[in-house]
């Protein structure tokens, strides 16, 4: 064990170097996330494992003195209580840690001044940069002066996104799947939030319905927040219109549709087919398990971190967003419609 343990002093990079029998400069490259292409994979893994075993913690104050900026990134999301964002944040934290950074969580729903605060933190160099998930146009405008240290996911403004999702293709798959099962009265259960991602889902849903020649009715569209009682009531009203299938903007809304169907004495999928969106753990806890669109949270979180760090390193010349592909996961909540 390192000698510092006996003196109860913090473990340093010198201690890690001594334990691994490599130079301190090599250890510093690895622990600061700058070893790729310069230190072998085996040595990197040995240093990282040894640092973790010894309890090494980076000296943030020393890093700021050397570089003038902290090794912290902010990740701003619209609702941390939503399970999906928890999965994205875990992936982002792991990806950032591999490069020597930590991640600060910001919940934009609970702080009306979140964008001003983040801009101030960037300008004062308390944080190195920020990822914002579905920021509104007002927030995007405030980030203009620090755009070189911001990555936006699903931006409201065309051309500003660093990472985007293949929503149109996903909704095409959802509608095509339900129509292929013989459903002709397909409802859309939308998320009642002023976000481009949800407007895009509705527009893509309607476009595919029209493209394949199905009829639609304004009554076959419902919208709700994720609050369970409000969502259940909205789902009840939608089901009462006679739709035989529902495409939901979120797995939480799909859960409310299950609840409403049960209250109405209907069976899923025999009486009603339901499709969700996100593929969070809830999708497999519902009975029957939910057919849903999978957003690969791990890839999304990692790509956002990768794009931001590339910007911060001055290596990013890419203007087009990284596209994260979505896929429809077929489970047991959809079935052929008897009259189709």
Alpha helices, DSSP H only, in 146-195?
A: 167-180
Report the candidate in 52, 128, 86 with the shortest Cα–Cα distance to residue 280.
Answer: 86
Greatest mean pLDDT among 64-78, 80-94, 99-113, 290-304 lies in 290-304
- The CA–CA distances, whole Å, from 208 to 74, 167, 182, 202, 326 equal 37, 12, 15, 10, 16
Percentage of the chain surpassing pLDDT 90?
54
Contact 174, 247 (CB under 8 A): yes
Instruction: Tell me the pLDDT tens digit for each residue of 99-145.
Output: 889 998 888 888 888 888 899 889 888 899 999 998 888 888 888 88
Instruction: Tell me the pLDDT tens digit for each residue of 298-316.
Output: 999 999 999 999 998 876 6
Please give the pLDDT value at position 157. 82
Q: Is the pLDDT of residue 279 over 60?
A: yes
Residue 7: both structure tokens together: 């003196």
- The CA–CA distances, whole Å, from 87 to 28, 77, 84, 93, 152 equal 30, 12, 5, 10, 18
Question: Once rounded to an integer, what is the mean pLDDT over residues 57-86?
Answer: 70
Contact 277, 316 (CB under 8 A): no
Rg (CA), the chain: 24
Q: Is the pLDDT of residue 4 over 60?
A: no
Please give the pLDDT value at position 38. 80
Average pLDDT, the chain: 88
Please report how many Cα atoms fall inside a 13 Å half-sphere around the Cα of residue 27, on the Cβ side: 22
Residue 27: both structure tokens together: 């250890």
Instruction: Give me the count of residues in the chain.
Output: 340
Please give the pLDDT value at position 68. 46
In the DSSP assignment, the letter for residue 130 is E
Please give the pLDDT value at position 158. 72
pTM: 0.76
Please give the pLDDT value at position 108. 86
Going by pLDDT thresholds of 50, 70 and 90, the confidence category of residue 31 is confident
Beta bridge partners of 124: none
- The CA–CA distances, whole Å, from 207 to 213, 221, 270, 291 equal 10, 14, 27, 21
Going by pLDDT thresholds of 50, 70 and 90, the confidence category of residue 56 is confident
Rounded Cα gap, residues 237 and 78, in angstroms: 27
Please give the pLDDT value at position 316. 62
Please give the pLDDT value at position 67. 46
Instruction: Tell me the pLDDT tens digit for each residue of 230-265.
Output: 999 999 999 999 999 999 999 999 999 999 999 999
Please give the pLDDT value at position 317. 61
Helix, strand or coil, per DSSP, at residue 261:
helix
Greatest mean pLDDT among 41-50, 80-89, 197-206 lies in 197-206
Rounded Cα gap, residues 128 and 74, in angstroms: 8
- Angle at alpha carbon of residue 73, lines to 163 and 110, rounded to 5°: 85
Residue 272: both structure tokens together: 């009603």
Any idea which of 24-38, 152-166, 202-216 has the lowest mean pLDDT? 24-38
Beta bridge partners of 106: 76
Q: Is the pLDDT of residue 63 over 60?
A: no
DSSP code string of 184-238: -SEEEEEE-S--HHHHHHHHHHHHHHHHTT----GGGEEEE-S-HHHHHHHHHHH
Going by pLDDT thresholds of 50, 70 and 90, the confidence category of residue 160 is confident
Rounded Cα gap, residues 152 and 131, in angstroms: 6
């Amino acid at each position: 064990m390192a000698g510092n343990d006996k003196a109860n002093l913090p473990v340093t990079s010198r201690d890690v170097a001594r334990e691994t029998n490599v130079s301190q400069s090599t250890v510093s490259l690895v622990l600061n996330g700058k070893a790729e292409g310069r230190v072998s994979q085996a040595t990197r893994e040995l240093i990282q494992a040894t640092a973790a075993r010894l309890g090494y913690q980076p000296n943030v104050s020393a890093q700021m003195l050397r570089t003038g900026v902290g090794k912290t990134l902010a990740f701003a999301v619209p609702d941390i209580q939503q399970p999906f964002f928890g999965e994205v944040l875990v992936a982002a934290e792991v990806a950032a840690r591999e490069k020597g950074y930590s991640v600060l969580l910001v919940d934009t729903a609970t702080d009306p001044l979140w964008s001003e605060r983040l801009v101030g933190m960037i300008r004062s160099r308390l944080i190195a940069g920020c990822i914002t998930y579905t920021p509104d146009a007002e927030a995007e405008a405030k980030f203009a002066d620090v755009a070189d240290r911001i990555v936006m996911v699903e931006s409201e403004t065309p051309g500003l996104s660093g990472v985007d999702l293949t929503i149109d293709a996903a909704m095409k798959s959802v509608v095509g799947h339900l129509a292929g099962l013989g459903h002709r009265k397909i409802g859309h259960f939308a998320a009642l939030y002023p976000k481009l991602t949800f407007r895009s889902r509705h527009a893509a849903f309607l476009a595919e319905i029209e493209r394949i020649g199905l009829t639609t009715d304004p009554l076959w569209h419902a919208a709700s927040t994720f609050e369970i009682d409000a969502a259940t009531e909205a789902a009840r009203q939608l089901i009462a219109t006679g739709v035989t299938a529902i495409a939901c903007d979120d797995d939480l809304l799909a859960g409310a549709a299950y609840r409403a169907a049960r209250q109405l004495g209907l069976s899923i999928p025999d009486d009603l087919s339901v499709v969700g969106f996100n593929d969070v753990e809830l999708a497999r806890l519902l009975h029957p398990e939910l057919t849903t669109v999978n957003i690969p949270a791990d890839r999304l979180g990692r790509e956002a971190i990768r794009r931001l760090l590339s910007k911060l390193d001055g290596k990013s010349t890419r203007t087009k967003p990284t596209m994260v592909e979505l896929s429809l996961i077929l489970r047991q909540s959809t079935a052929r419609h008897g009259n189709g």
